Amino acid sequence: MPKIIIVDRAGRDGAAEAQEGLSLMENIRNAGYDELLALCGGSCSCATCHVFVNDDWINQVGPPEGDELELLDCSDHRRHESRLSCQIEIGPSHDGLRVTIAPED
């Protein structure tokens, strides 16, 4: 099981065992991070699961595309490392993935 590192909005680091095949969003929510709202439940229609992917992991998770890119363009907090966590499926290669929950828009 890969381990993911989650930094909450207060800047606290936490580690969680992630379930492969689930989205990063589902894994963050399963780890008890309620500040990641994920209002649309993972259908890529709201951007409330916005995270910043650590620079060391940008190439591994890839850039946003399509609807995800359009939703992120509407965020006041968009940065080069922005992704919607519902669009990242966790696999064995994500062991050590570090993300920060973005501020709420």
Domain holding 30: CATH number?
3.10.20.30
Count of domains observed in the chain: 1
* Residue-range definition of the domain harbouring residue 96: 3-101
pLDDT at 51: 98
Cross-strand bridge partners of residue 53: 99
Q: Confidence class of residue 26 from pLDDT cuts 50, 70 and 90?
A: very high
Given this model, what pLDDT does residue 96 score?
98
Between CA 26 and CA 32 the distance in angstroms is 10
What's the pLDDT score for residue 24? 98
**Local confidence band at 43 (pLDDT 50, 70, 90 cut-offs):** very high
Mean pLDDT of 56-82: 96
pLDDT at 61: 96
